[in-house]
Structure 1
Amino acid sequence: MDGLLINTEDIYTIVTNEVLAEYGKGTLTWDLKIQLQGLPGAQAARKVLDYFQLPLTMEEFESKVIELQYKKWPTCTFLPGALELIQYLHTKKIPIALCTSSAKHKFQGKTDHLRHGFDLFDVIITGDDPRIPQGRGKPFPDIWQLGLKELNAKLEASIHPTECIIFEDGLPGVTSAKAAGAYVIWIPHPEALEFLGNTDAVLDGKGELLGSLTHFDKEKFGI
C-alpha cells in the first residue's frame, strides 16, 4: 500500500525528518530508507533509532511520529494509476487482496478518506493481524500467504500462488513476494533506484520492474 498505491512513503520520510531535525540528527536518505520499506512499524522504528542514535525510547519515538503522521494522513492521495487499476480489476471481477505491513489503526488513518478505492478490495490484511506470527513480517511471505488463504476462503476458490501477481515498491516486499511464489511487479520510488543495485538479480526472473502503475500491461497477463 505505502509507496505503491498511496504517497504515504513520502509522508513517512517528512515526519521522520521532522523528528530527526528536533535532535540535530540530519535527514533520512534513501540508502537507509530502502531498508525500512515494507517492514512492520516496530522494526522500522528500531532501525531509525539505532542508525541515528536518537536519545529516545521506542515508545517516545513512536509517540512523536504517530502524532505527526495523524496530522498528515488526511492529505495522502493515490499514486498515478493506482485507483484506476483497482477499479479495473474490481470491474473485471478479478480477486484482489491488500496486504500491508501497516497496523490496522494506521491503515484506517491513511485510507478513511480514500474508501472509494480501498472498499473495492475483496480482502484486506494488516501487519498486526494476530494470524501472522511475531517476527514474520516482510521479507517473510506470511502476509501474502494469509491474504491468498482469505481470498480462497471468501470466494470459495482454489487460487495457487503461481497464478498471482504481487505489486510491490520496497525491497523487503519484493523478497517476500518471491518467497510466496507469485510473479512480482516492482515499482520502486524514483529516488530509490540508484541504491537498489542489480534489480534483475533481485527479481531473478520472477518479476519485472516498472516506473509506474500506469505502465502495467494488463493485456500481457490477459486481464
Structure 2
Amino acid sequence: MAPPTSTKACLFDMDGLLLNTEDTYTLTLNEILAQYGKGPLTWDLKIRLQGLPGDKAGRLVIDHYQLPLTVEEYEKLNLEIQSKKWSECNFLPGALELLQYLHFLGIPTALCTSSTNLKYEQKTSHLKENFKLFDAIITGDDSRIPPGRGKPSPDIWQVGLRELNEKFNSQIKPEECLVFEDGVAGVRAGVTFGAYVIWVPHPEAHEHLGNKDEILNGRGTSLYSLEKLDKSKVGL
C-alpha cells in the first residue's frame, strides 16, 4: 500500500511518539522492580508493553517478573511514582513542529492514546496550549472503546477518525489517513485500521523489533525520528 497522494487526516499516538514519556515509564517500572529485587526492564519486554492499555501492561509485568501484586496494587504504585515525574516530560524532536505544520495546513488531527484521561491530563497539563492543536483527543478509557479492544485492536483509531469526520462533516476514509506510532501494538492497530503507518520506534528499540517490514505488512514505513519525515512522500 502506497501512502496517500493527498493526506486528509493524521492520527497520533502520544507516549514515546510525541512525548518522551516512555523513558519515564522505564524509570518508574525500574523503581518498582527494584523494591522486589527484580529488573531492570529490558527492551524485549518493553516492546511488548508499549501501547497496551494499563491493565494489560500491568498483568504482563506482574506475570513476567512474578511480582506479589494484583493489577490494582501495581497500578496504584505506578501512579504514585509516575505522578511525581510527568511534569518533566516534553516533546520529542520534530513532534511539535509537525503538529504546528499540520495545523497551518488545516489537516485534521486526532490524538489517540492508550493512556487514561487522568494520565493524559497529568502528562500534558504543562503543555496544554500545544495540545490545543489537536482537533480530537481520544484516551484509552473512552467509553466508545469496548472493554478488551485497546491496541492492537484498531478501535481507538476508528473512534478518532469518526470524531474528526463528525466535527468537520467529512467522510475521510482510513486509507486517506496517516497513523503515527512508536509501539508494535499501535502499529498493528494502525495496519488493521487501514491507514498508512509512520512508525517511529525508540532509538534503542530498533535492534529488538525483528522484521519491521513484516509487521508493517506493506502499509507503512519506519523512521528513526519525526525530524526525518519527508512530508512530500506522504501526501503532506
Structure 1 residue 24 displacement after superposition: 0.3
Q: Which runs of 5+ in 1 are unaligned?
A: none
Q: Tell whether 2:154 aligns with 1:141.
A: yes
| Contiguous gaps of at least 5 residues in structure 2 | 1-13
CA distance in 2 between partners of 1:181 and 1:99 (Å): 15
1: CA distance, partners of 2:103 / 2:39: 43
Q: Measure how far apart 1:222 and its partner are.
A: 3.4
Among residues 56, 67, 90, which one is paired with 2:103 in the alignment? 90
C-alpha displacement at 1:26, in angstroms?
A: 1.8
AA aligned to 1:50 is D
* 1:24 aligned partner, one-letter code: G
> Counterpart of 1:211?
224
Aligned to 2:132: 119
Alpha-carbon deviation of 1:202? 1.2
Q: How far apart are the structure 2 equivalents of 1:77 and 1:202? A: 28
Letter aligned with residue 4 of structure 1:
L
More helix by share: 1
Secondary structure class of the residue paired with 1:188: coil
Which one of the candidate residues 21, 25, 37 is aligned to 2:34?
21
Alpha-carbon distance between aligned partners in 1 of 2:189 and 2:75, rounded to the nearest angstrom: 25
Whole-angstrom CA distance in 1 between matches of 2:176 and 2:215: 20
SS at the partner of 1:6?
A: coil
1:39-96 superposed Cα distances (whole Å, 9 cap, x missing partner): 0011001100010001112222111110110000000000000000001101110000
Deviation at 1:193, TM superposition (A): 1.0
TM-align CA RMSD: 0.7
Is residue 87 of structure 2 the alignment partner of residue 74 of structure 1? yes
Q: 2:121 aligns with which of 92, 97, 108?
A: 108
Q: C-alpha displacement at 1:116, in angstroms? A: 2.3
1:160 paired to 2:165: no
The Cα shift of 1:221 comes to: 2.6
**Structure 1 residue runs of 4 or more that deviate by more than 6 Å after TM superposition:** none
Mean alpha-carbon deviation: is it higher for 191-200 or for 103-112? 191-200
Find the residue that maps to 2:84 and give its secondary structure: helix
- Counterpart CA distance in 2 for 1:26 and 1:131 is 36
Q: CA separation in 1, counterparts of 2:217 and 2:75? A: 36
Q: What is the TM-score of this pair, normalised by structure 1?
A: 0.98
Match of 2:211 among 170, 178, 198: 198
Relative to the length of structure 2, the TM-score reads 0.93
Identity %: 63
Aligned residue number for residue 9 of structure 2: none
Q: Secondary structure at the match of 1:50?
A: helix
Larger RCO of the pair (alpha carbons < 8 Å, separation 6+): 2
